[in-house]
Structure 1
Amino acid sequence: MTNHDEAAAVRPLTLAWVSRHLEVGERIVKTEALHGGITAEIRRLTIGTRDGSTRDLVLRTFVNVEHAEDWLTREADALTLLTGTGVPAPGLVAVDPTAAHCEYPSLLRTHLAGRTVLDDEGVETRVPLLARQLVAIHALRPAGRPRGYVTLTTADTVVTPKGADAAAWAAAIDVIRKPAPPYEGRFLHRDFQPGNVLFDVLPSRPTDARITGVVDWAATSWGPADLDVAHCSTNLALLHGPAWGLRFSEAYEEAGGVLAAAANERLYWQVRDGLACSEEVQQVAKSWREAGRPELTTRTVEQRLNAYVTALMDVLS
């Protein structure tokens, strides 16, 4: 077995666990670290088959991550549920949520074709595709519902960026002090954003993009569609500018999605997700720089977050 780089090396116990889940005569011939994740180490494993060809699997490992067992169990359940639904999710191969066999909690899944696309070029084509895909996810009616959504942000944990519009942020924080508005439950991805969507797109023809996969189902939940839309909106605002964050909810409705009817209810979910991002700007910016956006410094992302939250308060309030 050869490693693409040192970070790609699979730990011995995990390597043995993966090997036990391969077909007879198969072996791992190469490993490659995949960048862009915040909570998990992600590796692509190239598997040599008996007939001399190869296939790829993906290994997700949570190293010293709180709630790893819960997340991996939830992801495994979601991947099982999504089989045959038409949503382009990976297939589950094996999961070790308690690290009973591996050094750390791990999940092995099939590899999907395509790649994440975080560049500004072609975003006007990708946003409607993202919206249509999210509408399809929300349309699922599983026999067994996933657990209810969780929001970890509170009015007291928000981190107001340096130089932010103090009045707008104070007003936004007041919004999430109120109880959550009523909603009709939907099947949520809960981390649906460009970093978790794979595209088939040629650099020379960005307008011909198509979605080939949606990954990272560890936070799958039951809750308001507005929450998934708000999360993708925030990420688009930080990646491509505040205008794209505001545009996504429009694209979602144009694709047939249904959001809260009242402006103040929409504002609650949009603001809640924007403020939640304030607590992890540094990690988000770092993951995007590693994924090919070196200009997205922590300060740049903070400035975009401030502009987005301010715009939300202007547009929706």
Structure 2
Amino acid sequence: MSYDDEAVDVRLLALAWVGRHLARGERVVATETLHGGITAEMRRLTVGAPDGATRHLVLRTFADPFFAAQAGELLNREAGVLALLAGTGVPAPVPVAVDPAAAHCEYPSLLMTHLPGRTVLEDRGLEARVPLLARQLVAIHAVRPAERPRPYTAWTTADAVVPPDGADAVAWAAAADVIRKPAPPYEGRFLHRDFHPGNVLFDVTPPGQAGPPGPAGLRITGVVDWVETSWGPADLDVAHCSSNLAMLHGPEWGLRFAEAYEEAGGVPATAAGDRLYWRLLDALAFSTEVRSVVRPWQEAGRTELTTRTVEGRLDAYVTALLDTLG
């Protein structure tokens, strides 16, 4: 396997490992860093064939020491989930090779197929995208694996919640009291567990390029980042996407997504108090994580989303949940 100068930003051992999983005569001719991830480095690899044809693969690398220490479990889980999803209608990458213990690469890595499309985080066209997101999540929850994934893990506790500066202290105390209670009973579902616009690819024309305006023909081409896949209540996936939409676009869109999920045939908890528990359990987990989600959004072009702005939206969303479901 040989490679061009444009490919050298992939570490040499990883590049050699990738080469062993290419067809005879293929080589990596270019790479592109994919922005938007928080836990791992993501690169799109352009693979060239002797006849001039090209194709793309994606390399996920856990280089950060904190996440590299957990990479064995994370990458094995994701590779297994991707293999499982290959037999469903859920548009997910197909695993090509995995090196969870960095036996061949500089860092733990996963090589997978590349899906067309791009993430869409701008406000324009959101009304058309929300129903598609909801229908896609219903389809994910309909997956019935032969072997269930691990049980879900809560990402915060009542005592770990830190209200943002200037937040409604009374509302946040009430919200923390809601999740202090035992988790409501639920019917288990196959969960993505990190489903949000940053992990969904759409077939759309990038800003500034020629193409038909508006949502005509808009469709989802892929769902990525399956390292957190779990078994648990459908409400948790609904809650996570709702929290992200509320922070990205405004609290009203967090509330709207939950409605769209039901309109698409999803079945959330029957009792309003149960729905409130799951949605607050997710929303309050962002109380100490706002900075980490703002950075990839800014890198993707949403530079107006400052930490203070997103904290204000999170505060408004928590208050809206209490007013709506409390």
TM, length-normalised to structure 2 = 0.94
Aligned position for 2:125? 122
CA apart distance, 1:243: 0.2
Pairing partner for 2:168 from 165, 168, 190: 165
Q: Which runs of 5+ in 2 are unaligned?
A: none
Aligned position for 2:181? 178
1:1-317 matches, cutoff 5 A: 1-3=4-6, 9-63=9-63, 64=65, 65=67, 66-202=69-205, 204-208=212-216, 209-317=218-326
> 2-side partners of 1:85 and 1:50: how far apart?
33
Amino acid at match of 1:303: G
Does the residue aligned with 2:288 lie in a helix, a strand or coil?
Answer: coil
CA apart distance, 1:152: 2.7
Does the residue aligned with 1:44 lie in a helix, a strand or coil?
Answer: strand
> 2-side partners of 1:270 and 1:32: how far apart?
36
CA apart distance, 1:52: 1.2
Moved >4 Å (runs of 4+): none
> 2-side partners of 1:293 and 1:108: how far apart?
29
Amino acid at match of 1:301: V
CA apart distance, 1:235: 0.3
CA apart distance, 1:67: 1.8
CA apart distance, 1:156: 1.6
CA apart distance, 1:18: 0.8
Q: Give the fraction of aligned pairs with identical amino acids, expressed as a percent.
A: 72
Amino acid at match of 1:161: P
Asked whether the 8 Å contact 1:2–1:31 carries over to 2, the reply is: no
> 2-side partners of 1:100 and 1:251: how far apart?
45
Which has more strand, going by share of residues? 1
> 1-side partners of 2:311 and 2:6: how far apart?
36
> 2-side partners of 1:310 and 1:2: how far apart?
53
Asked whether the 8 Å contact 2:162–2:287 carries over to 1, the reply is: yes
CA apart distance, 1:260: 0.1
CA apart distance, 1:122: 0.2
When structure 1 is superposed on structure 2, of 184-193 and 10-19 the one drifting more is: 10-19
Asked whether the 8 Å contact 1:3–1:32 carries over to 2, the reply is: no
> 1-side partners of 2:170 and 2:301: how far apart?
34
> 2-side partners of 1:98 and 1:176: how far apart?
36
Does the residue aligned with 2:214 lie in a helix, a strand or coil?
Answer: strand
CA apart distance, 1:254: 0.2
CA apart distance, 1:308: 0.5
> 2-side partners of 1:206 and 1:226: how far apart?
31
When structure 1 is superposed on structure 2, of 96-105 and 261-270 the one drifting more is: 96-105
CA apart distance, 1:2: 3.4
> 2-side partners of 1:206 and 1:71: how far apart?
38
> 1-side partners of 2:58 and 2:6: how far apart?
14
TM, length-normalised to structure 1 = 0.97
